[in-house]
Structure 1
Amino acid sequence: MDEQALLLLKEEDEGKIRRTSVPTQLLKLKRTQWWILVFISIFFLISAQAIAVLLGRFYYNQGGNSKWISTLVQTGGFPILYLPLCLLPPSSSHSSSSSCSFTTLLCIYLSLGLAIGLDNLLYSFGLSYLSASAYSILCASQLAFNGVFSYYINSQKITVLIFFSVLLLSVSAVLVSLDDDDDSNNSPSGDSKWSYLVGCFCTVFGSLIYSLQLSLMQLSFEKVIKSETFSMVLEMQIYTSLVASCVAVIGLFASGEWMLLSVEMDEFHEGRVVYVLTLVGTAVSWQLGSVGAVALIFLVTSLFSNLIGTLSLIVTPLAAIAVFHDKLTELKMVAMVIAFMGFALYIYQIYLNDLEVQRAREAQVE
Structure 2
Amino acid sequence: MDAAREQQQQTRVNDGEPDLQRNASSTNRWRFPKLIHYKWWLRVILYILFLLVGQTAATLLGRLYYDKGGNSKWMATFVQSAGFPILLPLLFFFSSSTKSENISTASSFTTKPKLSTLLLLYAAFGLLLVGDNMMYSYGLLYLPVSTYSLLCATQLAFNAFFSYFLNSQKFTSFILNSLVLLTISASLLAVNADSENTTGISRGKYVIGFLCTLGASATYSLYLSLLQLSFEKVIKRETFSVVLDMQIYPSFVATCGCVVGLFASGEWKGLSKEMKEFEQGRVSYLMTLIWTAVTWQISSVGLLGLIFEVSSLFSNVISTLALPIIPIFAVIFFHDKMQGVKVIAMLLAIWGFVSYIYQHYLDDSKSEANKSKSNQVSGAAIEI
Category of TM-score, reference length = shorter chain? 0.7 to 0.9
Counterpart in 2 of 1:46? 52
- In 2, distance between residues paired with 1:332 and 1:182? 12
Residue type of the alignment partner of 1:277: M
Identical aligned residues as a percent: 50
- In 2, distance between residues paired with 1:280 and 1:255? 22
SS at match of 1:183: coil
1:169-208 CA-to-partner distances (Å, cap 9, x unmatched) read 4444555555522233xxxxx3448567765654443232
Note if 1:240 corresponds to 2:246: no
Decide which structure has the larger Cα Rg and report it: 2
Alignment of 1:17-28 (within 5 A): none
Counterpart in 1 of 2:163? 150
User: 2:113 aligned to 96, 100, 106, which one?
Assistant: 100
User: 2:335 aligned to 303, 325, 336, which one?
Assistant: 325
Counterpart in 1 of 2:177? 164
8 Å contact from structure 1 (residues 133, 317) kept in 2: no
User: 2:319 aligned to 305, 309, 313, which one?
Assistant: 309
- In 1, distance between residues paired with 2:273 and 2:77? 19
Residue type of the alignment partner of 1:315: I
- In 1, distance between residues paired with 2:82 and 2:238? 24
Larger mean CA deviation between 205-214 and 86-95 belongs to 86-95
8 Å contact from structure 2 (residues 318, 353) kept in 1: no
8 Å contact from structure 1 (residues 139, 313) kept in 2: no
Note if 1:250 corresponds to 2:245: no
Q: CA deviation at 1:290?
A: 2.6
- In 2, distance between residues paired with 1:160 and 1:197? 35
Residue type of the alignment partner of 1:243: V
- In 1, distance between residues paired with 2:275 and 2:288? 11
8 Å contact from structure 1 (residues 133, 326) kept in 2: no
Counterpart in 2 of 1:287? 297
Q: CA deviation at 1:133?
A: 7.4
- In 1, distance between residues paired with 2:360 and 2:38? 22
Note if 1:346 corresponds to 2:356: yes
Counterpart in 2 of 1:18? none
- In 1, distance between residues paired with 2:287 and 2:228? 34
Counterpart in 2 of 1:81? 87
Q: How many positions carry a matched residue from both structures?
A: 334
1:35-88 CA-to-partner distances (Å, cap 9, x unmatched) read 766655543332222111000000000010001100010010011111111112
Cα 1:204/1:316, change in 2 over 3 Å? farther
Q: CA deviation at 1:256?
A: 1.0
Cα 1:33/1:124, change in 2 over 3 Å? same
Counterpart in 2 of 1:361? 371
1:98-124 CA-to-partner distances (Å, cap 9, x unmatched) read 622222212211221111111111222
- In 2, distance between residues paired with 1:193 and 1:138? 19
SS at match of 1:99: coil
SS at match of 1:88: helix
Q: CA deviation at 1:328?
A: 4.4
Residue type of the alignment partner of 2:62: G
Cα 1:361/1:317, change in 2 over 3 Å? same
SS at match of 1:182: coil
- In 2, distance between residues paired with 1:138 and 1:165? 18
Q: CA deviation at 1:344?
A: 3.3
**TM-score normalised by the chain length of structure 2:** 0.74
Larger mean CA deviation between 64-73 and 153-162 belongs to 153-162
Cα 1:167/1:45, change in 2 over 3 Å? closer
User: 1:182 aligned to 193, 196, 202, which one?
Assistant: 196
Residue type of the alignment partner of 1:261: L
